[in-house]
Structure formats: C-alpha cells, structure tokens
Structure 1
C-alpha cells in the first residue's frame, strides 16, 4: 500500500516543543541545516521552528531539490501512451469512479499520459483532505528566501525531474496504478504522515517508508540514485556561492529515512550529522 503517496507528499506543540525533523551536517567550515520537507501542507505546519528561520536568515543560500520557478524552455516528450492504453477494464472503471468523486473529467484522464493522470488524481485528492502545494514547506521557504534576497540553489533542474517522471516504464503506469490502488486508504495515511512530520516522529516516518511498495526500478530511480547524486554534489561544494559557507537544505522527508538515506551517506563522506530538533510520538496510524 501507499506506493505512490510519497511521490507527491514527500518524495513530508507539546511540553517538549515537538518540531519537524532537522539536522546539522558539518565538515570543516561547510555547514548544512537539513530539513525534511512535505511538498504539500496547511497552516498548522507553520510557523517553522525559529532555529530554521534564523539559520536561513544568516545563511549563504537555500538549497532545494529544484527551483520550480526555473521552468522556462522545459520540454515534454511526445505522448506515446494514454492511460486507457495501460489499464485493464476493471482499472478503467475504478478511474472513472475516482474521477467522479474528485469532479475530474474521466475522458481527459484516460487520454492523458499515465504519469499526468496519476499526479492530477493525487493532487486533487490531497486538496480534498485540506492540503495544498502552495503551503508546502519547500515552497514557503523559497518565498521567504526570495523576499530576503537569499540565493535559492537547486540540486536538480526542473527538466531533470520532468524527464525522470515521464521516462518511467509505460509512461508512468506504476504511478497511476498506485494512485488507483491507494485511493481509499490515502486520507488516513496522509493525515498520519503530516502529523508524524509535525511531531518529528522519526520512527513513524520510517514506518511509512517501510509501507511503500515500489518496484526496485522505481525506487532506485526516484530515491536511491537521487540520494547518491545529491550527496556527491553536497560533498563537493565548488558549485556553491561560498564553498565554506552555511546553507539550509530542504529535501523530501523520505530522502532522510531508510538505510541509504542522505544523512547516512553524508556521514560516510565525513560529515558530522546531528539531530537538532525535539521530537514526540505521533498519535496516529497509517492503516485502519
């Protein structure tokens, strides 16, 4: 279950002042404050901890997965498959039912590439839960950095992400089928994911990571290879405005959990990685 949720959400007060997870990673004079993001959100996720805001203000830049504003001249491949081409009759019926619930034109979904139909279903469903990409953590920090004239830097280009998404087998059939299969369970899982993020519950986020059912090829392309590429780039900071500076790094939370996550790999590159946030347990369940 939930094999597609992370692609949109994450790919995410108490006496302990529970906070979303963030870490420091230091090697020599180079310092990163690393925050796990959820790419959608609501007002309950803000304000962010003051330590993050203060570090950003004094930093040499904000590093994101990609700066979505830099989308000029991006190119999409010629469409070769439609959703109706990769779905069984039963799956088409499920899609039509979901489209009706979300008030989406089913024929438009069926004529769209599978990856595009999957994203539209997921985002419309997430909006129905009360969340929006406009209040995603990375987007909010990007706006804050821009208004304060803090450089916004990218680990990837928008074109790379488009190529990754559109280049999956059968134009993203796996992502679309997961959106259909996970539809009925998604609300409970999404709310628990957001609650776990707000509480900084690392154990719960690791649990969510373990619930995903990605194919090895999909997982390698979307998680492991990107983690490795990012760590290689972060470890060789000649591309940064100040290679010995201080930066705030924001990536999807699920890139920071699991055995081959960004933090583990940074430690192997000689960084001292320390959790800076306070956590508590999230009182929720991903499954009924």
Structure 2
C-alpha cells in the first residue's frame, strides 16, 4: 500500500459490538464468486475472519487477488527525479519533520522520487501504529491457499502496479504533498473506514469512497477507477471465468462505491447479495 488510496489505518474495534466484515456472493449462470474486502496490511484483531468466508473457501476452485505478494516480488522502476527538485523550502521543512517522526533519514527522502518518499513515509508511520503485512487479509488468505493447494489467480502484476505509480505526473508529487499536508485527516478517515469495514457497514464505506472520488486526483483514478474497470472486466470475462466457485479478496476501496467492483458486477449481470449482516457505525456523516 502506497498512498491514502490504499493505506487504511487501523483502530481497535469495540469488543462490545458483535460484528464482522461483510462477505458477498455474486452469481451469474454457473459462475459464483465469494467476495470480501481485505488489504495487504492489518492488525491481529482482524481475526478470526467471518465463518461464512472460511467455510466456503473449503470448496473454492481458486482464490483471486489483486496481487500475489508471495510470488510477485521483482519489479523494475526508473531512478526518478529527487523530491528536492520539486519541493519549496517550506515543503522541505515539513518533509524533515515527517522524516524525524518516521525515523527515516531526511536526506534519503529528499533524494528519492516523490512517489517513493510518500511510500516510505506512509508505510513506516503505519507500521509504528501496529499496521503490518503479516496481519494483512490478503497474505493470510494466500498462505491458506498455498497450504491447501488452492490455485491463486492475480488480476494484476507487481510490474503493472509499479508502472502505474512511476508514470504519475511529476513522479507522484501530489502523493507526497497529500501525505505531508493531510496525514492527520487521513488517519481520522482511515479509522472510520476501518471501523465500517470491521462492522460490515457497507453504506458508510460506499459513501466514503464516493465522497473521496468527487475530488479524485490522478492516482485515485489509476488505482481505484481504472483498476475497478479492469478487474470487473476480467471477473466478467467468460473466456477467463465461465463456471465454478472462486474466492475474491480485494481492497475495500476497490470493492465498494458507486463504481466499485460490487456495483460493476451487478451491471454486468451478476446477482450480488450479502451472506452476513453488518452493523452501522456512527463515525461518518452520510450525505
């Protein structure tokens, strides 16, 4: 996860509220998907995952993810232009404060291209909050799949992901500036989004994604809208998937929203229903 597009920060969920992430079923003719939102980073309190997900996984024909992080490890990226070539003095001073907070060498961030500096800051600060790869839902399900010899299908490759971010205008300068100027707000929104995901509050997640896309930047379109059209197209392609039952784990940011995967599957003729009930969380004002 490299930007506020995908880095959804965690917050401990109240133990008094019995709720769980929503698991969905999408059916079209002889093809059935069991879908759940899940990211590449997480915390221990995500587990156990909903029974309806793990139970149906026992009969799955394969698991579908955005990226197989267990095998997709090598990418080629251009050297890029140092962030110091883009930032004014005030922005450099702010970067230095964040470098100290993240305990990263300031000079290293200055000499890294903006997208890479933003990535290093967000990943490091998120890890300081206890947000780790080893607790990510994607990795958890991939390990389970490999242990049980379940086929793994990726909708994209590491190189494709790298090409998206390295091709951003001004080498992703807006990602770095968003991190420096909006970190605290993003943390608060991330906490609310995480609560909604853990509670299965689909309405809140849909509204939050839609609101963010109202003033979407280039990276939002590439990593959310463009990815959704691509992935929904693959999932609806009968030459790729004509029959069988598959388990799909994708980021909640991609799954929900007016132009999310769930909505697009409906438009493509799938009958989409929830397999478990969610609970409303009062952390975001629905418009």
Shared fold, TM over 0.5 = yes
Secondary structure, counterpart of 1:247 in structure 2? strand
**Take 2:181 and 2:211, find their aligned partners in 1: how far apart are those partners?**
14
**Take 2:147 and 2:89, find their aligned partners in 1: how far apart are those partners?**
50
Quick one: structure 1 residues 187 and 215, their matched pair in 2 at CA, closer, same or farther if it must change by over 3 Å? closer
Secondary structure, counterpart of 2:239 in structure 1? helix
Q: Partner of 1:190 in structure 2? A: 190
Q: Partner of 1:206 in structure 2? A: 206
Alpha-carbon offset, residue 186 of structure 1 = 3.8
Quick one: structure 1 residues 117 and 14, their matched pair in 2 at CA, closer, same or farther if it must change by over 3 Å? closer
**Take 1:216 and 1:185, find their aligned partners in 2: how far apart are those partners?**
17
Contact 2:23 2:52 in 1 (8 A): no
Contact 2:6 2:251 in 1 (8 A): no
Cα-to-partner distance string for 1:71-91 (whole Å, 9 max, x where unaligned): 3552112x2311111222111
Contact 2:64 2:248 in 1 (8 A): yes
Alpha-carbon offset, residue 105 of structure 1 = 0.6
Cα-to-partner distance string for 1:133-187 (whole Å, 9 max, x where unaligned): 2211111111111111111110011111111111111111111111111223343
Cα-to-partner distance string for 1:175-234 (whole Å, 9 max, x where unaligned): 111111122334333332222211011232134324537544333222111111111111
The CA RMSD over aligned residues, in Å, is 2.4
**Take 1:211 and 1:266, find their aligned partners in 2: how far apart are those partners?**
21
Q: Partner of 2:258 in structure 1? A: 259
**Structure 2 unaligned blocks of 5 or more:** none
Quick one: structure 1 residues 217 and 183, their matched pair in 2 at CA, closer, same or farther if it must change by over 3 Å? closer
Quick one: structure 1 residues 145 and 156, their matched pair in 2 at CA, closer, same or farther if it must change by over 3 Å? same
* Match status 1:71 vs 2:82: no
Secondary structure, counterpart of 2:130 in structure 1? coil
Alpha-carbon offset, residue 16 of structure 1 = 8.3
Corresponding pairs, count? 280
Cα-to-partner distance string for 1:224-248 (whole Å, 9 max, x where unaligned): 11111111111114335xx311001
Quick one: structure 1 residues 189 and 97, their matched pair in 2 at CA, closer, same or farther if it must change by over 3 Å? same
Cα-to-partner distance string for 1:23-74 (whole Å, 9 max, x where unaligned): 1000011000111113321111110011101111210000000112333552
Alignment of 1:37-116 (within 5 A): 37-71=38-72, 73-77=74-78, 79-116=79-116
**Take 2:146 and 2:109, find their aligned partners in 1: how far apart are those partners?**
35
Contact 1:23 1:276 in 2 (8 A): yes
Alignment of 1:212-227 (within 5 A): 212=212, 215-227=216-228
TM-score norm. by structure 1 comes to 0.89
Contact 1:16 1:279 in 2 (8 A): no
Q: Partner of 1:154 in structure 2? A: 154
Q: Which moved more, 1:190-199 or 1:149-158?
A: 190-199
Secondary structure, counterpart of 1:184 in structure 2? helix
Quick one: structure 1 residues 112 and 138, their matched pair in 2 at CA, closer, same or farther if it must change by over 3 Å? same
Q: Partner of 2:236 in structure 1? A: 235
Alpha-carbon offset, residue 14 of structure 1 = 7.9
**Structure 1 unaligned blocks of 5 or more:** none
